[in-house]
Amino acid sequence: MNIAKSTNKNVGGVASLSYVLVSEVEKFPVIMKYQTINFDDIMLKGGAEWKTIYFSPETCSSDSENKTDDAGMYYNNTIKADYPAENADASIALESIKDIPILVITKNLNGVEKLFGTPENPMRLQYNQPTGESVMKTTGYEITISGAGIYPAFFIKRI
């Protein structure tokens, strides 16, 4: 298979993050190989919806690192972002999904969407609250969402 030159601009950077709890997923497409996933094939239970995670502009990045261990090849998928302010509402919201199995969609500045995690190999959120050493360094939350699976993040197609 040829890998052709891309005609898309490569602005880079993550523009938005959305997540849903795995427990809120009614139906998920069968994954037989690495593929593009149709967004509408991810069916949520009644009343469930994708929720957003705000982050400071230009602080969000994602990675699907290929690794090998005794069990074989896998991908360590990671998303990192900074939330800009320390406050009770953000703390309560982050704590409510900490270590809970989630699926995450990132959208980059080119409009390309990727799905991180599956119900069988979900992502999990962790965060910490560093205090800035000076007035110039803000306080807030460092968010890390990670998970491992046999595939890198899937491209999402909306029909």
Q: How do strand 154-157 and strand 37-38 relate by DSSP bridges?
A: parallel
Q: What are phi and psi of 89, to 5 degrees?
A: -60, -45
Q: How many CB atoms lie within 10 A of CB 59?
A: 16
Question: What are the pLDDT tens digits along the chain (159 aa)?
Answer: 677 766 666 667 899 999 999 999 999 999 888 889 999 999 999 999 999 999 988 889 999 999 999 988 999 999 999 988 778 898 899 999 999 999 999 999 888 999 999 999 999 999 988 766 655 556 788 999 999 999 999 999 998
pLDDT at 135: 54
**What pLDDT sits at residue 109?**
86
Instruction: Please check whether residue 147 is in contact with residue 121, taking contact to mean a CB–CB distance below 8 angstroms.
Output: yes
pLDDT at 132: 63
Per-residue tokens: 107: 């959208």
**CA–CA dist 41, 118 (Å, integer):** 13
Q: Where are the domains of the chain?
A: 14-153
Report the chain's terminal Cα–Cα distance, integer Å: 25
CA dist 45 and 88 (Å) reads 29
CA dihedral 96, 141, 53, 15 (to 10 degrees): -160
